[in-house]
Amino acid sequence: MKKSQREIMDSTRQITRRGLMLAGIQVATVTTLALKMRSMQLDHAEEYRTLADGNSIKIRLLPPSRGLILDRNGIIIAGNEQNYRVTLTREEAGGDVQAVLRRLSQLVPMTEARMAELMEEFSRRSAITPIVLADRLSWEQFSAIAVNAPSLPGVTPESALSRAYPRAGDFAHVMGYVGPVSDYDLSRIEDPDPVLLLPDFQLGKIGVEGRMEEILRGKAGARRVEVNSQGREMRQLSRQQGEQGATLQLTLDAALQNYAAQRMGTESAAAVVTDCQTGELLSICSSPSFDPNKFVRGISSPEYRALMDHDHRPLADKTVQGVYPPGSTFKMVTLMAGLEAGVIDAGTRFYCPGHTELGGRRFHCWRRGGHGTVDAIKSLEESCDVYYYELAQRVGIDRIAIMARKLGLGQRHDLPMSAVAEGIAPDREWKMARHGQAWQIGDSLNASIGQGFVLASPLQLAVMTARIASGREVRPQLIRSIDGVRQAVPEYAPLDISAASLRVARLGMDAVMNSARGTARGARITREDWRMAGKTGTSQVRNITVAERARGVISNDQLPWARRDHALFVAYAPYDAPKYAISLVVEHGGGGSAVAAPIARDILLFALNGGLPPLDAVPSDQRAALEERHNAMHLYKPEAPRPGRSRA
C-alpha cells in the first residue's frame, strides 16, 4: 500500500504539531526542576550547608509515654516510672566507640562480657539509633555521667519512662507485661512504627499489654536539636509533641483482685468473678502469681528457672488458659438438657443404689451407699451421680453438648488476653473428628457428670453460672473505658432455655448451699439478703481401679499432691436478684465443698460488701477462723478514688 504524497504531508504536519507540544511539556518540566534546584542550591544553600556541616543538627525521637491501665475505680494497675539511663549514638561517638565505653565503665561498672555484647549490638544497628548502655542508674551515677559528658562523645544521659506494675503479682496474668522489641516482633509487624526501632522501647508482649498494644503505645514526637562536635546538645530548634497512649480502664476491681489473690494464698488456683447482668469481669485471678516488674527489668535466669520449674505453674494463667474437667459443676448442663428435651420433668425420679451397671462396666456414685430415690432438685443438692447416668442415657450426648454451648462452654470468649482456651463440649461429631472413634454410651455417662472428654476453663464456668443466674446470653467484658470513653455494654438476648428449666437449676443450686442436706451447706452465706446459690465439683485426675475400689478408695490426703482431685465451685448471689457469679478451681485441692466453696464464698462476700466480708455473713462456727485469716492477709490500703475518673 503506497501512501499518497498528501497523506505524508498530513502525517508530518501532525507529528510536528504534537512533537512541539511534547517539547513544550518537557521544557516546562525541566524548568520546574531547575527552579527547584535553584531554590535549594542558591536561595537556601546556607541552611542546608549548616545541616550538612559537622552534622550539627540532629533529630531525636521522643518516645510516647505508654497509656495507663486502671481498674474500675481508677486505681493504677500499670503505670510508668522514671528510669535514669545512658545511651550512645555511634554516629556521634567520633569513631572510637570502644574507647568511649572504657571511659564510661569507670563511672558505671560494666563487665567485659557486657561491653562485647554492646559492641556487637552497635555493629548490628544503624549509626543513628541510640543504644542503651546502662539503665536504672542511681542519681549519683547519672549526675557523674552528666558532669563528664565532654569526655564521652555521643553519650547522652537521659531519663525515660519505664513500665511499672504497682500491684505486682495481682494482675500479672491479665495484664501480661512489656519487654524490649525483638527481631521476631519486628518481623511480624507490617511497616513498623519507627519508634519501635529505638532501643529498649517497650512493647506489650502478652496479656492486655500485648493485645491492646496499638492503643496503649501512642505516637512518637520528634525534636530537632543542634549539637556540638562532641555530640552535646546546644539548643533545641523545634519540638513536635507526640501523643500519649490511651488510658485503658478495665472492668476489674483491684481491691477484689487483691483479696482473691490473698484468699487463695499459696494454692494452685484460679478465680473468676463476673457481673451476672453485664458480663463485666470484676476479678480474674490466677494463683500463685509472679512479679511482672521483674520481666520488665530483665529477670535473672535462676529466678526464671524457679518460676518455670515450680509445680504450681505460676506463669500459667489458669483462669482463661487452663482447662479442667468441670466435674459436678457440669450437672446443671445435663439436667437442663434433659428438662428441655422433655425426657424428664422436675418430679421425675431415679433410684440410686450407689452405682449403675452398663455393658458390664460399673459406674459409681460418689456415695457408695447410694442416694435412694432422687428427683431433679435432690440430684443437684446431693450431687447424685447415678441420676445423671440415667439421664444421660435418655437425653444423649448431642443435646447435652448443645446445652453446654448455650451456656458458653466449648467456645472461645473474646477477651483481650493471651491464649484464651476454647475448652471442649464433646459430641459425636467431635469425637469422630478428633479421635476417629465412634461415641460410646459410656462416654455419655462420664460427660454427664463433667468427666471424660468435657473440659472447661474457670472463665467459661463463670460465664455459665452468670447465664444460669441471669437467664441471658451474658458475654465476658474486660474493657470498661478507653481514654474515658465508656465502652457500651451489649444488650444480651435471653437464653434459648425455658424459664421453667432455669428455675429448676436455680432451685437445685440454692438447695446445695442452703438446705439441710446440701453438699456445700458449710460454705453458705447466712445473711438472707445475700443468699448464695452454687454447685460444688470434684474432678478426678486419675483412674480408680476396681482393685482400689474393693480395698477402699484412697482419700485425697494420702495421695501425692499432683494426683489429688481438682476442687471446683461455681456460685452466684444474691439468689433473688443475681449480681455476681463466681467460679473457682483449686488444682489438686481435694473436694469442691470442703476446699473450693469457702474460698469462693469469701471472695463473693467481698464483692457484695465492697470490702472485707462481714463476719456475720458466715456461719457462726467459722467466724473466728475467717477473722484470723483476714488478719494474716497483706492487703493494699484502700486508695482514694482519683478525681476525674469514673467511679463504679
Partner 1 sequence: MSYLDYQVAQVPTGFRKILYINWPLVLLITAVCCIGFLMLYSVAGGRMDTWAEPQMIRFAVGMVIMLGLAFVPMWFWRGISVAAYVVCFLMLVAVDLFGVIGMGAQRWIDIGPIRIQPSELMKIAVVLLLAAYYDWLPLNRVSRPLWVIVPVLVILAPTALVLMQPDLGTSIMLIAGGGIVMFAAGVSLWYFGAVIGAAVGLVVAVMRSRGTDWQLLRDYQFRRIDTFLDPTSDPLGAGYNIIQSQIALGSGGLSGRGFMQGTQSRLNFLPEKHTDFIFTVLSEEFGFIGASSLLVLYMLILGFCLYSALSNRDRFASLITIGISATFFLYFSINMATVMGLLPAKGSPLPLVSYGGTSLMILMLGFGLVQSAHVHRPR
The site for partner 1 (CB under 8 A) is made up of 1-3, 7-8, 10-12, 14-16, 18-23, 26-27, 29-30, 32-34, 36-38, 40-42, 44-45, 47-49, 51-53, 55, 59, 61, 127-129, 190-191, 194, 197, 222, 240
Least CB distance from residue 62 to partner 1, whole Å? Answer: 11
CA atoms of 448 and 396, how far apart (whole Å): 9
For partner 1, give the closer residue by CB, 214 or 303: 214
Whether the CA torsion 228, 233, 235, 239 is positive or negative: it is: positive
Least CB distance from residue 30 to partner 1, whole Å? Answer: 6
At residue 33, what are phi and psi to the nearest 5 degrees?
-60, -45
- What is the Cβ-side half-sphere exposure of residue 438, based on CA atoms within 13 angstroms? 2
For partner 1, give the closer residue by CB, 36 or 305: 36
Q: Which region, left, alpha or beta, applies to residue 327 given φ > 0 means left and ψ of -120 to 50 means alpha?
A: left
Strand partners, 84: 159
Least CB distance from residue 236 to partner 1, whole Å? Answer: 15
Least CB distance from residue 16 to partner 1, whole Å? Answer: 5
CA atoms of 363 and 549, how far apart (whole Å): 12
For partner 1, give the closer residue by CB, 1 or 516: 1
Residue in 318, 315, 288 with CA at minimum distance from that of residue 304: 315
CA atoms of 202 and 165, how far apart (whole Å): 14
Beta strands in 143-229 (DSSP E): 155-164, 178-180, 202-204, 221-227
Least CB distance from residue 580 to partner 1, whole Å? Answer: 38
Least CB distance from residue 150 to partner 1, whole Å? Answer: 23
For partner 1, give the closer residue by CB, 214 or 429: 214
SS (HEC) of 442-496: HHHHHHHCCCCCCEECHHHHHHHHHHHHHCECCCCECEEEECCEECCCCCCCECC
CA atoms of 87 and 132, how far apart (whole Å): 4
**Cβ-count burial 302-314 (b if 16+ within 10 Å, e if not):** eeeeebeeeeebb
For partner 1, give the closer residue by CB, 62 or 307: 62
Least CB distance from residue 70 to partner 1, whole Å? Answer: 28
Least CB distance from residue 97 to partner 1, whole Å? Answer: 16
For partner 1, give the closer residue by CB, 130 or 245: 130
For partner 1, give the closer residue by CB, 50 or 98: 50
For partner 1, give the closer residue by CB, 20 or 546: 20
For partner 1, give the closer residue by CB, 61 or 497: 61
Measured between alpha carbons, how far apart are the two ends of the chain, in Å?
Answer: 91
Least CB distance from residue 200 to partner 1, whole Å? Answer: 16
For partner 1, give the closer residue by CB, 42 or 488: 42
**Which residues, including other chains, have CB under 8 Å from residue 546's CB and lie 6 or more apart?**
362
- Taking residue 500's Cβ as centre, other Cβ atoms within 10 Å add up to 12
CA atoms of 382 and 265, how far apart (whole Å): 29
Least CB distance from residue 47 to partner 1, whole Å? Answer: 7
Least CB distance from residue 13 to partner 1, whole Å? Answer: 10
For partner 1, give the closer residue by CB, 126 or 182: 126
SS (HEC) of 552-617: CCCCHHHCCHHHCCEEEEEEEECCCCCCEEEEEEECCCCCHHHHHHHHHHHHHHHHHHCCCCCHHH
